[in-house]
Structure 1
């Protein structure tokens, strides 16, 4: 992950530059390796770089041959090699960065250039000749890009192609990793002692032969991190905060080991209807509409978590399940094939793709009990005591009277639990009231529960008492 700050049509850019650099510095945790800036006419681009590969090259903003185009990017362009070969006009590349191909693509295709990209990205390009600034992001909005009401824009930027020596890791939801100079796969998990996901991760690591790092955190560790997590997330959504806190702590630990990038499983539950509440989908039409809604809102929930809680420590999370072609193919599957039945567990199609029971000569990809394990939301999987502790501590900070008389400035967006009230109060300590308009609450559909935990769903093997 990197950080981008861009300002277009400023009346006095040289005078504004110190302010721009200071504002970009607020995102330096996303790109701690190097800072770069570009000024032309009334525009300034500032880039805070996280170097994953090609450590000695790819500093940004990137420029074309005559300096008329400047580009600041955050992300990874998966099909950059193919795009280079498809260019109609010869172009002299200055770096090995996968992102540099955006410049000649823009020269040939103009505003249609983003449509040709496959990857996770957000970028800002300044066209000096046309005197215009273009901002673009991937269709899944994996890496958020925001424009400010006064005309300033910020986003996040770059990355390259050839591997460097940095470790590349995995987190505790079964995410895989690769390491460029070590022959063994590295994997990581985090949880409270005896957490369900930790036990499963250890079994998978042993089965696959990965070099596994099993981290634990305490309730106090998590509680102490809450305010920082809310600051980085820019959200007070209960589900997102519950899950982001362990990931935030894991990211800090693996960054200290030298890990800069890991693969994440975000998107699979949204694409395949993996959450337990999908058991209650009334028909395939409703099932499909809900998956579409979840995918469209990923940038406000799971991708927000993966993006912000890792970037807080200068770690980049990549999401293979949101590959453009995979997403298109998976969302075109007849939803009746995805629906959960008495014979089909959540994400049955995805699990079946890794099932080798019909191929006796094929080595299993995963242990059977892991492959067919019930869906466990990350905030539950790190240890059931985590959510219980959050509720208990919220009750210490929020009284019944406070719940009955919430803040008037919250308008219609009233907390429905003491935990939600507590998070909203911490959010207000960091951000002005109007920022609340960017927050989306993650709530399960077809459920009477206001608690978004998977354990609030009756089909969970460790459900709360009386869950429906």
Structure 2
């Protein structure tokens, strides 16, 4: 993950405002940058970088010679950046494709053609427009603060906006940017903005526009059991394969359950096919000899991963609850409970290993109705609504 932050039309000193951006410094431990926008001295970008792709030219805001009037800050991964479009790339950054797609197709089609997870802020000074967007499922976070007089602030986490200072008649709310949407703002000469378009570019119930460019051959639509199984295997393997684009070491969380075991096994298999120059590390967490630890140990031995086990006590879990709440920006009990172990295992990975890009089995229960409450749902329409939710 990276941290993105931007202000448009600030009435306060930007050197003071920029201290707010340091509250998300944990999102990008490799480098950070603050940069004013030429001709708009009260507009500023901030970026905290976790280097995943193109460590040499990957700093942001991204600007390239071909489009000197464009400024891009984004957080995410674009899986189809080098597979579907024949652009004259000037870096190896996956995000550069946003600039080329925007130039060729405009903002709506640009967003719809991205196969990945993302949150972006794209400034076009030639046309005086600010474009903001977020992926369909909201995997990458983005928060917005917009005042009545046109001051706009954006950040990967709400904590980077709560201390922003600005003279305003009524307090402005900090709101999550809607997943699957883009918003267009006119940029005034004084640096302030006015929202002129807010539109959904994709819904999870629709086939994405980028599917027509997929490198996979069209799959058969038969509901024959063997055909369905074959399609699932092909799509699943492709989903793992396209995420091997990282230039940093890849690992995988492993609980020993069905979901994470399938991801880990497929990842180890494809890593060998792609000749990655390191063994895949897997990570499990639990108390001594807990069921997850034991199951993960068996799976790791079977697939041949370099396995790590993180043991923790109840006291250690309780101790980090406040830190977890700060990072989650939520008091939701279920989310906190699940995130405590995620926080502890992530902390171990960061401190004790060189794995940076971590796969997991998260999201599969929502996709395949794995939770117990799905068993009580009446009818396919209710299933669909719950999955979409």
Q: Sort the TM-score into its range (normalised by shorter chain).
A: 0.5 to 0.7
Q: How far is the alpha carbon of 1:144 from its aligned partner?
A: 1.1
Tell me which of 10, 25, 34 is aligned to 1:28.
Answer: 25
> Are 2:140 and 1:143 equivalent residues in the alignment?
yes
C-alpha separation between the residues in 2 aligned to 1:9 and 1:126? 13
Structure 1 counterpart of 2:330: 235
Structure 1 counterpart of 2:16: 19
C-alpha separation between the residues in 2 aligned to 1:83 and 1:32? 31
Structure 2 counterpart of 1:122: 119
C-alpha separation between the residues in 1 aligned to 2:5 and 2:112? 23
Structure 1 counterpart of 2:234: none
Q: How far is the alpha carbon of 1:264 from its aligned partner?
A: 1.9
Q: How far is the alpha carbon of 1:163 from its aligned partner?
A: 4.7
Contact 1:146–1:153 (8 Å) recurs in 2:
yes
Q: How far is the alpha carbon of 1:129 from its aligned partner?
A: 1.5
> Are 2:277 and 1:171 equivalent residues in the alignment?
no
Contact 1:5–1:23 (8 Å) recurs in 2:
no
Q: How far is the alpha carbon of 1:83 from its aligned partner?
A: 4.3
Tell me which of 239, 244, 249 is aligned to 2:344.
Answer: 249
C-alpha separation between the residues in 2 aligned to 1:79 and 1:118? 6
Gaps of 5+ in 1: 294-468
Give the match's secondary structure for 1:103.
helix
Q: How does 1:48-447 map onto structure 2 within 5 Å? A: 48-65=48-65, 66-85=67-86, 87=87, 91=88, 93-112=89-108, 113-150=110-147, 151-155=152-156, 163-164=246-247, 166-173=248-255, 174=260, 176=264, 182-256=277-351, 257-293=353-389
Give the match's secondary structure for 1:60.
coil
Runs of 4+ in 1 over 6 A off after TM superposition: none
Structure 2 counterpart of 1:2: 2
Gaps of 5+ in 2: 158-242
Change (3 A) 1:276 1:200: same
Q: How far is the alpha carbon of 1:181 from its aligned partner?
A: 5.5
Contact 1:5–1:20 (8 Å) recurs in 2:
no
Higher strand share: 2
Give the match's secondary structure for 1:76.
strand
TM-score, with structure 2 as normaliser: 0.68
Structure 2 counterpart of 1:297: none
Q: How far is the alpha carbon of 1:183 from its aligned partner?
A: 4.1
Q: How far is the alpha carbon of 1:27 from its aligned partner?
A: 0.8
Structure 2 counterpart of 1:355: none
The CA deviation string for residues 28-62 of structure 1, in whole angstroms up to 9 with x for no partner, is 10111011233221421111100023222211111
Contact 2:252–2:280 (8 Å) recurs in 1:
no
Change (3 A) 1:134 1:266: same
Contact 1:5–1:46 (8 Å) recurs in 2:
yes
Contact 2:254–2:283 (8 Å) recurs in 1:
yes
C-alpha separation between the residues in 2 aligned to 1:232 and 1:6? 20
Q: How far is the alpha carbon of 1:82 from its aligned partner?
A: 3.0
Change (3 A) 1:78 1:181: closer
The CA deviation string for residues 162-204 of structure 1, in whole angstroms up to 9 with x for no partner, is 654x432111332536678544221110011222221111111
Give the match's secondary structure for 2:356.
strand
Across the aligned residues of Structure 1 and Structure 2, the Cα RMSD in angstroms comes to: 2.1
Matched residue count: 281
